Amino acid sequence: MIRWTLLFLWACSSTPAPKKAAAVGTAGQGPNVILISLDTVRADRMGAYGGRAETPNMVKLAMEGARFETAIANFPETALSHWAMMTGVLPEVHGNVPGTGDSRYTGPTLAQRLQDAGYSTAAFIGGETLTDRSTGLSRGFDLYDDAYPWDRTDLKRPGDQVVSAAQGWMQAQKGPYFAFIHLFDAHFPYTPKPPWDTRYDPDYAGELTGSDDDLRPYRDGAKTPSEEDVAHILALYDGEISELDAIIGPVLQAAGPNTVVMVTSDHGESFSHDYWFNHRDGLWDGVVRVPWLVRGPGVKPGSQLMSPVELVDVAPTVLGLLGLPAFSDVHGVDHASALMGKSAQARGRPAHSITDPGRPVPQFAVRSEGSKLLIRSGVGVSYDLRKDPSESQPTPLADKLKIAAERTYQRRLQPVKDKWQGPKRAERAHGSEELKRLESLGYIDAVKGGDGAPGAGQAPR
């Protein structure tokens, strides 16, 4: 209780502006930037974070650069999490992006800021939930490569194709560039290619596969998997993470010394808490703790930054590493100075995460270095993550601390929301084919029309 009381007292005080990192480039001449987002990858499964999934390329990246030990996603869904990543602004400012196809945020994005600084900018997208028609995320990108043939059985654009397109574009650039690479391979269904399909569970004798048809009853709560089945699906998921490491290896190896490289994720995945093979309705660490690895000019090799950071910190930190002017009036902070060993990492700032407020069980979480506060449908609990890393032993939270947490979050949220949130956007029309894709990915529920066929009128939240 004392820890949480001190935390909220700190959060209510003013936060000093981070020190500006020394410039490592000027407009039109700065380092290249490669930002890789591994959709649905949780940190604790990765070899780079001590997990089982072999990730030699990312281990090497961390050794040559820095690793944020506790990077927290602000939202457990693709569209809003990436909008937070690209703007430094918390998800609530952006509104119902999946339903409207765009963000209510009216300020600059990272791509726009780099474009203004003389960078060529391009995004290469691996999944339906980050296409421009679904998110409007193309702001500031000269090229937004998101068109691909859709495969109902695998639901993604293969990562090797995404990386190939990105490499071709990067090699053609004459000046500094910003390449955003989004890889959807670890998102369900879990279908790693050989040898990764049997790498971590070669002796499984059950019938459950990682296909969408097999997993849907478990994601919908209609069935409960056995321990053996969960272990097998985890093995497939770990295989996909190892496969992703191999896919991005050529990009990491080709990036020269004058390139800022970041690898992160939008959210993780749940394999416990009676919430199976999904992420939308969970804020446990398996869902919100994601990787964030950084290498680049000036970054101190082998650094491990332990205090919690958030995905809203990504864009401000990129600008800091490039020596470009900071974003003004956003929620994220710049960690460039700590990455470069010029200052100690700021400690004590809590990380905030929310789920979609329109979901049946809306949730809110506050993550500190060793504790978590979690509010579900108005009921608050806390976890001591040092003693209970699996978050299986909740302690009821006193009402005054729950109220203090919610008020602290609103005090943080509202000034930025007042400045940057534009008018509410109208719900957009979703074609039947797009709805089928989103329903397959679990982002909307199937709607039956009068003839029993899926309806085309339901917009995702």
pLDDT, position 228: 96
What average pLDDT does the segment 66-76 reach? 98
DSSP summary character for residue 46: B
Question: Any idea which residue has 């703007």 for tokens?
Answer: 87
pLDDT, position 443: 55
Q: Is 105 helix (H, G, I), strand (E, B) or coil?
A: strand
Out of 220-229, 295-304, 340-349, 402-411, least confident range = 340-349
- Highest average pLDDT, of 150-159, 227-236, 449-458, comes from 227-236
- CATH class (in words) of the domain with range 31-350: alpha beta
Q: Cα separation of 343 and 348, whole Å? A: 15
- Structure tokens, 350: 């809590």
Write the pLDDT tens digit of every residue in 297-350.
999 999 999 999 999 999 999 999 999 999 999 999 999 999 999 988 877 689
- Structure tokens, 304: 């491990």
What average pLDDT does the segment 168-190 reach? 96
More confident residue, 438 or 375: 375
Q: With bands split at pLDDT 50, 70 and 90, how would you rate the model's confidence at 446?
A: very low
Task: State the Cα angle at 355 between 376 and 136, rounded to 5°.
Answer: 170
Q: pTM for the whole thing?
A: 0.88
- Sorted by where each begins, the domain ranges of the chain are 31-350
pLDDT, position 9: 34
DSSP summary character for residue 48: G
pLDDT, position 432: 57
pLDDT, position 345: 85
Q: Could you write out the DSSP letters of every residue in 219-284?
A: HTTS----HHHHHHHHHHHHHHHHHHHHHHHHHHHH--TTEEEEEE-S---EEETTEEEE-TT--S
pLDDT, position 437: 55
Write the pLDDT tens digit of every residue in 147-168.
887 666 667 899 999 999 999 9
Q: Judge whether residue 118 has pLDDT over 60.
A: yes
Q: Judge whether residue 182 has pLDDT over 50.
A: yes
Mean pLDDT for the chain overall: 88
- Structure tokens, 15: 């936060």
